[in-house]
Amino acid sequence: MTVTPHDNGVRDSGVDDGLRRLVDVLLPGIDRFADLLTDRITEGEDAYGDHGHVTHDQLRTSCAENLHSMITQLGRDALDLRVPHDTGRFKAEHGVPLSAVTHAYRVAGRFMWECILNEAGDTVTKEMPHVAAAVWSVSDTFTDAVAVAYRETMSERAHRDRQVKSLLLAALLDGRLDEGTHLWECADALRLPQRGVFAVVSAETAAVGRPADEDALHDVEGALRVLGVWSVWRQEGDAQVGLLSLRSPGSLAQAVDLLRRRSIARAGVSTLFHGLEQVPGAFRQARLACACVESGAREVASYGDSPVRLMVVSAPDSAQHAVRKVLRPVLELPQHERELLLETLSQWFASGGSATETAARMYCHRNTVTYRLRRVQELTGRSPTDPVGASEIHLALEAHRLLTGPPPSGPAGS
């Protein structure tokens, strides 16, 4: 319904004389009705009892305001919903359950109808069929309005809480909090222990949803909470970064497994640490671990899982130099030959240096593999079968894969 200004004493031309007389009969009893309704709500709803979320006087004031607004608007086509809107916000901010709020409004609707039956007497014609419709229309509209305002307030409150937590997490990640009081206050605000078992996760945005997709992020938080893992997240550039508080060191494996199942992009996890002052270092570990996963892959890597890849992403300039120094002759070949040799090297190292297994993986003859490896040796001056040459080629290949992009996948023919 549309909203009109508060009642200013001017009669609504759309309200018939019968309802006007009914309003005139009921208004003088507002204070008495408010007392009775307050008692009825208090008796019937625990949330408004002696140890409820709002005081008796606050509830009584709310009952008086809502009854006055409901009664004065009986029969109107356009209702002023500011009173239930303000009530919904107030109750949400004071922690009254929504079920208790809407129940109180339903009680108020029934109470108002009882007042009409008991107080109006012969002043209002009993046969008016639309009196009941007017009462329940106002009651239902007010109940809907208070619920909408309540949910909006809770949503705004949750958003503010997430913003505060995000800013506090940013301070932890940047190392801007000194040890001591400030660190303790931050831990308390984030509902985290200052000492415990922690890990940091850095996931490409697509892994947990777009930056604005807070619902997807809540799903991850909720799923981790089921495992007993409390987490706080924030957007950092093109990644979502999370601080995980674990029950025990063994919980990390469960958390990583959950992230791996939900991931649609790459992510990295730091090693475990035990104090919030170590968050900045763990953050760097998580980012490096994420960078150890090939671009476009759906994988969650833990820091230190692949020492060679970790060396590459930790020193990208040196790694690029190794690529140019070792693989440049191969990379300058025509595309088809270049991709064929790079894929052969990749499968060679993946199979532990077995020409037979490499041939099986690439659906070609063993001699074809031997020929390609000899071709690599001719171009680079390094033999893939020699320990030193193999280590240099492998390092350069991993650097090319991580820093330049993955070579085309799929079997290559002879």
pLDDT, mean over the chain = 85
Widest Cα–Cα separation across the chain: 111
What is the spatial distance between Cα 18 and Cα 294, in angstroms, rounded to a whole number?
A: 77
Reported as type and span, the H/E element at residue 157 is helix 130-174
pLDDT at 253: 92
Q: CA angle 312-315-316, nearest 5°?
A: 70
What is the spatial distance between Cα 73 and Cα 139, in angstroms, rounded to a whole number?
A: 11
Share of the chain above pLDDT 70, in %: 86
Which amino acid type is present at position 131?
V
Can you tell me the mean pLDDT for 285-309?
91
Which of 79, 192, 191 lies closest to 146, judged by CA?
79
pLDDT at 411: 39
The DSSP string of 44-75 is H-GGGSTTSSS-HHHHHHHHHHHHHHHHHTTT
What are 313-322's pLDDT values in tens digits? 999 999 999 9
Token couple for 123: 């002043």
Residue 242: partners with Cβ closer than 8 Å, 6 or more residues away: 200, 201, 203, 220, 231, 232, 233
Kindly report the pTM of this predicted structure.
Answer: 0.63
Which residue has 């590459």 as its token pair?
Answer: 312
What domains, with CATH codes, occur in the chain?
17-156 (1.10.490), 194-305 (3.30.70.270), 316-403 (1.10.10.2840)
Which of 376, 374, 375, 356 lies closest to 365, judged by CA?
356
State whether residue 269 is helix, strand or coil. Answer: strand
Token couple for 263: 């991931």
Can you tell me the mean pLDDT for 375-382?
95
Can you tell me the mean pLDDT for 191-206?
89
What is the spatial distance between Cα 394 and Cα 322, in angstroms, rounded to a whole number?
A: 10
What are 236-264's pLDDT values in tens digits? 888 899 999 999 999 999 999 998 888 77
State whether residue 35 is helix, strand or coil. Answer: helix
